[in-house]
Amino acid sequence: MNTLELNNVHVTINGSHILQGVHFEVPSNKVTALLGRNGVGKTTTLKAIMGIHHGSGSITLDGAQLIGQETYQIAKNGIGYVPEDREIFSSLTVKENLALAARSEDANYDLVYSLFPELVSRATQRAGTLSGGQQQMVAIARALLNKNKILLIDEPTKGLAPKLVAEVADALSKVAIETTMLLVEQNLALVKRVAQNIIVMAQGKVIFQGGPESLNDDEFVHSMLGVRGSHN
């Protein structure tokens, strides 16, 4: 099934109550986009799922409780995570970054290199010398190497040039055909292209759940996300 479900999730960080009863479901074999203005708790939600931030309530994958597990255990259970700021090992080569991420001998290098052929020619290049877009390719590729039940991807197009945004969007569209995904993304054109469901957060709570067609409504986009125009 590969269904992820959050129920009444609370997270407090340094005395600040960041997540305040978050509840939503990520259906199997679909892309769910998690939207909201900056600072509403989207990244905290992903980190709570991964066990990086400890919370209360319930987070389950196919009915198995994740709260209380360590991050490495959650990853072994089949959740891939692409963090917001990439967090690659800059002093290691592209090949070494991928090798560290592979959890088994049957890691899917064929998929990774078919989606990001540029990584083949840059295999021996130190990751810290790559462009921002190339580093993002490495970050996504690390998660795709393993047979994950679900991918958590945090703002994959942040800071990228339009051409690279298109390349990342193409890759995500192909991955989304076979993999359940929870995607945090500010680029609404990308969200409308790949997502079947959207969730909007505000002040640590879920305030809307529905379909991506809502993003065609300018008033909805402005009131929920604080931006003008739904065709960004």
Please check the confidence at residue 178 and state whether its pLDDT lies above 50: yes
Distance CA 112, CA 98 (A): 10
In a domain, 156, yes or no: yes
Residue 108 has a CB neighbour count (10 Å cut-off) of 15
Instruction: Give the residue, 164 or 54, on which the prediction is more confident.
Output: 54
Residue 135: inside a domain: no
- H-run or E-run covering 75: helix 71-76
pLDDT band at 231 (very low <50, low <70, confident <90, very high): very low
Asked whether the predicted pLDDT for residue 81 surpasses 50, the reply is yes
- Note whether residue 165 is domain-resident: yes
| 139: in domain | no
- Answer yes or no: is pLDDT of 32 > 80: yes
Percent of the chain with pLDDT over 70: 97
Confidence of residue 1 (pLDDT cuts 50, 70, 90): low
Confidence of residue 182 (pLDDT cuts 50, 70, 90): very high
pLDDT tier for residue 185 given thresholds of 50, 70 and 90: very high
pLDDT for position 25: 96
C-alpha to C-alpha distances, 154 to 46, 120, 182, 216, nearest whole angstrom? 8, 24, 8, 23
Lowest mean pLDDT segment, chosen from 32-41, 51-60, 168-177, 186-195: 168-177
CATH number at 171 reads 3.40.50.300
Domain containing 205: what range? 4-87+149-225
Q: What whole-number distance in Å separates Cα of residue 124 and Cα of residue 71?
A: 29
Query: Is 47 inside any structural domain?
Result: yes
The encoded tokens of residue 94 equal 């592209």
C-beta contacts of 163-167 below 8 A and 24+ residues apart: 164/131, 164/132, 164/133, 164/136, 165/190, 167/133, 167/137
Q: What is the pTM of this model?
A: 0.89
DSSP 172-192: HHHHHTTSEEEEE-S-HHHHH
Strands 180-184 and 197-202: unpaired
Query: Where does the pLDDT of residue 230 fall: very low under 50, low under 70, confident under 90, or very high at 90 and above?
Result: very low
Residue-wise pLDDT tens digits, 18-31: 999 999 999 998 99
What pLDDT digit, counting tens, does each position of 67-80 carry?
999 999 999 888 99
In a domain, 103, yes or no: no
Q: What local confidence, expressed as pLDDT, does residue 169 receive? A: 85
Using one digit for the tens of pLDDT, what is the confidence trace for 103-138?
777 788 998 999 889 999 999 999 999 988 888 889
Overall domain count for the chain: 1
Give the C-alpha distances (Å, rounded to integers) separating 147 from 58, 114, 188.
24, 16, 28
Specify if 217 maps to a domain.
Answer: yes
Nearest to 80 by CA among 105, 56, 108: 108
19 in any annotated domain: yes
Work out the burial of residue 98: count CB atoms within 10 Å of its CB; fewer than 13 is exposed, 13-18 middle, 19 or more buried.
buried
